[in-house]
Structure 1
Amino acid sequence: MAMFSIPQAKANSEVKETKISAYFHDYFSVQYTPNATDFIVVGFPGMNWNYTKFGSLGVFDDPVTEGPEPTSATVGRLQGIYFPSSLDGVYVGNLFSLVFTNKAYNGSTIQIQGTVDQFGGVMEFSVTSGTGKFRYTNGYFTMEPISFYQPTFYSLLRINVTVKHY
């Protein structure tokens, strides 16, 4: 017989809510280039690999800043993988981490996952866990496209994170 115990919360272990708004800068390339922060690493043989082709797998390591300017103060990095999960390439599965490098949360992470319509405007993901100051966290993460510059495939996106943690 299994036994479960639910201890009482201690005064110094109350659940906190943290809200974070920031921006990330994505530099997409079909193949690796020195300035790329997002590119496809594998796909079906004989097919063009890209972010809309079912079976492609992409990786990213994008800078996250306080403001929309690339020179704004750095918060951390958004690092992870994505893959078109629908045959038409509209829905994309994502597994990524918000890795903090700023003074307030340095070394902490927030883990995020979900499948979203990558062309549908604001995208919402689940926050599944965290480390450091965000241990035992859960919540939600939204990503909203702000601008896209076609010649260089540069995207600016606003992120909003709401998490509950101890």
Structure 2
Amino acid sequence: MGRILLILFFISFSSGPIRCARDDGDDDRGGFVRSLDPKLLSLKEEKLSHFRIYWHDIVSGNNATSISVVPPSNKSTTGFGTINVIDDPLTLGPELSSKPVGKAQGFYTLSSQEEVGLLMSMNFAFTEGKYNGSTITVLGRNAVFNKVREMPVIGGSGLFRFARGYVQARTHTLNMKTRDAVVEYNCYVLHY
């Protein structure tokens, strides 16, 4: 082992000085980052969009859209440690039969020992109208029994490239026996 380290030590000095890349805004100097004019990416003026959708988390029955992949590791009253993977419908109205506009895909984990608090990590993948194929990414804390929960929008794709903003979640219905829930999401997104 000592010989290998000694050989690596001599090789590192015989290969010449190590150069660090820096960003001067000039690609000819070996930098790996450069500044771009937003017009090159066809970015127009930034706008703020608001939309309201309903998230259907169906845990019970044969067509569950939320599956527990890691059960709690203890007898916690908050479900601490549980992880659910989701492919939840997003609709225009609170009824599951209302017009579908996409899916919420990702996971949530029960991450609080003191209350029912979730860490949400999901993409709203839209399938309707001009937003078909676009997504927004939500990542944040969701204290389930608070009247309104706010979580950040940390990015997006398609028409929501460079997205940032927040969502407000309000529970519309929650069946304590089945744990099925319908949550209203008001989304406020800055995008190009």
* TM-score class, shorter: 0.7 to 0.9
- Aligned pair 1:106/2:132, yes or no? yes
User: More strand per residue: 1 or 2?
Assistant: 1
1:125 aligns with 2:155: no
Indicate yes or no: 2:168 matched with 1:142. Answer: yes
- Distance in 2 (CA, whole Å) between partners of 1:12 and 1:134 is 11
Tell me whether 1:43 sits opposite 2:74 in the alignment.
no
Q: Is the CA contact 1:57–1:84 (under 8 Å) kept in the aligned structure 2?
A: yes
Letter in 2 for 1:2: D
Deviation at 1:110, TM superposition (A): 0.4
Q: Name whichever structure is richer in helix by fraction.
A: 2
Q: CA deviation at 1:149?
A: 3.1
In structure 1, the residue matched to 2:45 is: 14
The amino acid across from 1:103 in the alignment is: G
Q: Tell me the equivalent position of 2:58.
A: 27
| Change over 3 Å in CA distance of 1:49–1:104 after alignment to 2 | farther
**CA root-mean-square deviation:** 2.4
* CA distance in structure 2 between the aligned counterparts of 1:154 and 1:87, rounded to whole angstroms: 21
Instruction: Indicate conservation of the 8 Å contact 2:168/2:185, yes or no.
Output: yes
State how far apart, in whole Å, the 2-side matches of 1:157 and 1:44 are.
23
Structure 1 stretches of 5 or more lacking a match?
A: none
After superposition, what is the alpha-carbon deviation per residue over 1:39-70, rounded to whole angstroms, capped at 9, x for unaligned? 3111355x4699x3222211111111111222
- Counterpart CA distance in 2 for 1:36 and 1:151 is 15
Identical amino acids, percent of aligned pairs: 35
User: In structure 2, what is the Cα distance between the partners aligned to 1:154 and 1:42?
Assistant: 18
Could you tell me how far 1:23 is from its partner in structure 2?
1.1
Aligned residues: 161
Deviations 1:114-153 (A, max 9, x none): 0121211211110000001100110001111011234543
Contact kept? 2:79, 2:116, Cα under 8 Å: no
